[in-house]
């Protein structure tokens, strides 16, 4: 069969697969979950095939990029159907963040800045949800804003999720009194700088168009000195670096960070220098925070996929090095 024919066949199979499952979903089909036996079989099959790849490599046949891609895809997708759960160890920087929130008195005002957009939501949305949940549980007042245009929409999604919980419904939380969403403002780090003198000048209205003055929660909040704690969910610029440099360094704000795992390493210098109280790094940080808050959210659910994908990457690094050493450090292996 020619390559072209193979490609068309594969494409057709994918289309059929999608159609079958889509029709199944539309007609009310439930999600799929593997039984433990099947799960173990899948894992065993993956290990055996990896060993096979190792054998091939030792024999001198290097695998192509595409094979690596297929393995990564499988390692990320299949664990979502497995019924296992795992214990999550808590790292000190997550504990520190949780503790610093716990020491706040009920009624304290917490400013949460949503500085990310949907592409980074898989990592940051679970943190947002569990942080807001924690604030509400401890009767803290939540003020939301965004330096990224799509941030406040993400905040609304998180709020909706948290408030739909029965425990939260019982608290009878009111918009404007217990939480408020000030919306998005352009100007990147300059927004933070100007908030140092006046919140109202940057957010004359909230995202619904209600004027700042008529929101009881923020009416008396002039600037950072009226905020007890702030939390920044950040996926890049403008984000944590700007919050630390301006809000912390210039206005002495107490700041906690929720970062994508890419950004997190850079933030450890700030943690060390005492500029931030704690860091949630990546989906793992989110899962740790969820377990501190005794809540099973999406971060916890996805941790299995996460672990699997790490194992796959590590496996390939080992395979790559085995091949490298067996080839007598020939530079021929350097490319592909």
Partner 1 sequence: MRREIPLIITGVVGVGFLIQYFIPHAPFSYMSDWFSDWFSIVGACAIVLGALNLLKISAQKAIKRKKDWVYSLVIIASFLLIVIVGLLEGKDFRVAGTNFDWLYNYMYIPLSATMFAILAFFVASASYRAFRARNFEATLLLVAAFFVMLGRVPVGDVISNFMPEGWRLSNLASWVMNYPQSAGQRAIMIGIGLGIVSTSLRVILGIERSHIGGGK
Partner 2 sequence: MEHFSLWLAAFLTLGIISFLYKDNAWYKLTEAIFVGLSAGYWFVALFWDNFYGKFWIGKDEHLYLYVGAFLGLLMLLRLIPKIGWISRWPLSFIVGATSGLWLINYFSSNIMKQVQATIMPLFSTQYGAGFNAEPATIIGNLVIVFGTFTGLVYFFFSKEHKGAFGYTAKMGIWVIMITFGASFGYTVMSRMSLFIGRIDFLLGEWLGMIL
Partner 3 sequence: MIRLPANLDRKACAAFFVALFSLFLLVPGARSQDAAAVVDSIIQAVNPDSLPPELYPQAVTNVEVKDTPNDAGKSISISWEKSVDDYENGKVKVYRIYRSEIVDGQPSEYKEVGDIPAGLDEYSFQDGNTVDGLEYSYKVMAVNYLRENNITAWEAVSVTVPLGPIKSSAQWFDWRRINAFIGVILLSFFIVYYIQQAKSGKDLFIRKIAGMEAVDEAVGRATEMGKKIFYVPGLSDMDNMQTIASINILGRVAELSATYETYIDVPVCRSMVMITAKEVVKEAYSKAGRPDAFQEDQVHYLTDDQFGYAAGIDGMVVREKPATIFYMGTFYAESLILAETGNSIGAIQIAGTAMPSQLPFFVAACDYTLIGEELFAASAYLSKEPKLIGSVKGQDVGKGIMLAAIVIGIILETFNIWHFSRIFSVID
Binding residues for partner 3, rule: CB under 8 A, are 65, 105-108, 119, 172, 174, 177-178, 197-198, 220-223, 225-226, 228, 236-237, 248-250, 252, 262-263, 265-266, 335-336
Residue from 108, 138, 168, 188 binding partner 1 (CB under 8 A): 188
Q: Does 60 bind partner 1 (CB under 8 A)?
A: no
DSSP string, 142-203: EEEEESSTTHHHHHHHHHHHHHTSHHHHHHT--BTTTEEEEEE-SSTHHHHHHHTT-HHHH-
Given the complex with partner 3, which of 83 and 216 has the nearer CB atom? 216
Residue 224 contacts residue 191 (beta carbons within 8 Å)? no
Query: Out of partner 1, partner 3, partner 2, none, which partner does residue 222 contact, by CB within 5 to 8 A per kind?
Result: partner 3
Residue from 81, 190, 237, 251 binding partner 1 (CB under 8 A): 190
Q: Does 80 bind partner 2 (CB under 8 A)?
A: yes
Q: What Å distances lie between residue 75 and 15, 49, 306, CA to CA?
A: 22, 12, 9
Residue 291 contacts residue 283 (beta carbons within 8 Å)? no
Radius of gyration for the alpha carbons in the chain, expressed in angstroms and rounded: 24
Which uninterrupted H or E stretch holds 75?
helix 65-77
Q: Name the 3-class secondary structure at 56.
A: helix
Q: In the complex, what is the shortest distance from the CB of residue 30 to partner 1, in angstroms, rounded to a whole number?
A: 25
- Within 64-124, strands assigned E span 109-115
Query: Out of partner 3, partner 1, partner 2, none, which partner does residue 320 contact, by CB within 5 to 8 A per kind?
Result: partner 1
Q: In the complex, what is the shortest distance from the CB of residue 230 to partner 2, in angstroms, rounded to a whole number?
A: 18
Residue that is written with structure tokens 């999600």 in the block? 31
Dig out the tokens for 121 from the structure: 């939501």
Q: Does 6 bind partner 2 (CB under 8 A)?
A: no
| Residue 23 backbone dihedrals phi, psi, to 5 degrees | -65, -40
Tell me which residue of 205, 158, 198 sits closest to 184, measured CA to CA. 205
Q: In the complex, what is the shortest distance from the CB of residue 93 to partner 1, in angstroms, rounded to a whole number?
A: 7
Given the complex with partner 1, which of 108 and 251 has the nearer CB atom? 251
Q: What order of strands is seen across the sheet that includes strand 229-234? A: 179-184, 141-146, 109-115, 229-234, 255-259, 278-281
- CA–CA gap between residue 144 and residue 153 (Å, rounded): 11
Given the complex with partner 3, which of 73 and 252 has the nearer CB atom? 252
Query: Which three-class secondary structure string do you get for 43-71?
Result: HHHHHHHHHHHHHHHHCCCCCCHHHHHHH
Query: Out of partner 3, partner 1, partner 2, none, which partner does residue 18 contact, by CB within 5 to 8 A per kind?
Result: partner 2
Q: Does 311 bind partner 1 (CB under 8 A)?
A: yes
- Which residues make up the interface to partner 2 (CB under 8 A)? 14, 18, 21-22, 24-26, 29-33, 66, 69, 72, 76-77, 80-81, 119-123, 149, 186, 245, 249, 260-262, 264-266, 269, 272-273, 275, 281-284, 302, 305-306, 309-310, 313
- Which residues make up the interface to partner 1 (CB under 8 A)? 65, 68-69, 71-73, 76, 86-89, 91-93, 118-120, 149, 153, 186-188, 190, 193-194, 261, 265-266, 268-269, 271-272, 281-282, 284, 303, 306-307, 309-314, 316-317, 319-321, 324-325, 329, 333, 336
């Amino acid at each position: 069969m020619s390559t072209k024919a193979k490609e068309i066949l594969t494409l057709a199979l994918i289309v059929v697969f999608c159609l079958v499952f889509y029709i199944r979903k539309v007609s009310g089909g439930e999600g799929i979950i593997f039984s433990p036996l099947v799960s173990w079989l899948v894992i065993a099959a993956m290990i055996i095939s990896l060993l096979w790849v190792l054998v091939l490599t030792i024999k001198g046949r290097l695998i192509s990029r595409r094979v690596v891609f297929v393995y990564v895809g499988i390692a990320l997708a299949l664990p979502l159907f497995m019924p296992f759960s795992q214990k999550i160890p808590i790292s000190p920087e997550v504990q520190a963040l949780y503790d610093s929130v716990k020491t706040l008195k009920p009624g304290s005002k917490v400013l949460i800045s949503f500085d990310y957009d949907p592409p980074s939501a898989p990592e940051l949305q679970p943190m947002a949800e569990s942080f807001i949940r924690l604030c509400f549980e401890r009767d803290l007042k939540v003020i939301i804003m965004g330096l990224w245009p799509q941030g406040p929409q993400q905040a609304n999604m998180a709020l909706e999720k948290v408030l739909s919980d029965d425990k939260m419904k019982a608290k009878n939380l009111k918009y404007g009194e217990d939480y408020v969403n000030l919306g998005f403002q352009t100007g990147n780090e300059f927004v933070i700088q100007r908030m140092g003198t006046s919140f109202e000048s940057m957010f004359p209205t909230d995202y619904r168009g209600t004027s700042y003055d008529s929101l009881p929660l923020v009416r008396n909040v002039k600037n950072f000195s009226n905020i007890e704690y702030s939390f920044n969910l950040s996926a890049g610029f403008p984000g944590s670096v700007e919050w630390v440099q301006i809000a912390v360094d210039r206005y002495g704000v107490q700041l906690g960070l929720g970062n994508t795992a890419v950004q997190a390493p850079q933030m450890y210098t700030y943690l060390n220098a005492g500029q931030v109280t704690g860091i949630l790094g990546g989906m793992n940080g989110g899962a740790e925070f969820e377990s501190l808050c005794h809540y099973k959210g999406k971060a916890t659910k996805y941790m299995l996929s996460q672990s699997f994908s790490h194992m796959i990457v590590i496996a390939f690094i080992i395979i790559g090095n085995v091949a490298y050493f067996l080839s007598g450090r020939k530079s021929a292996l350097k490319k592909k």
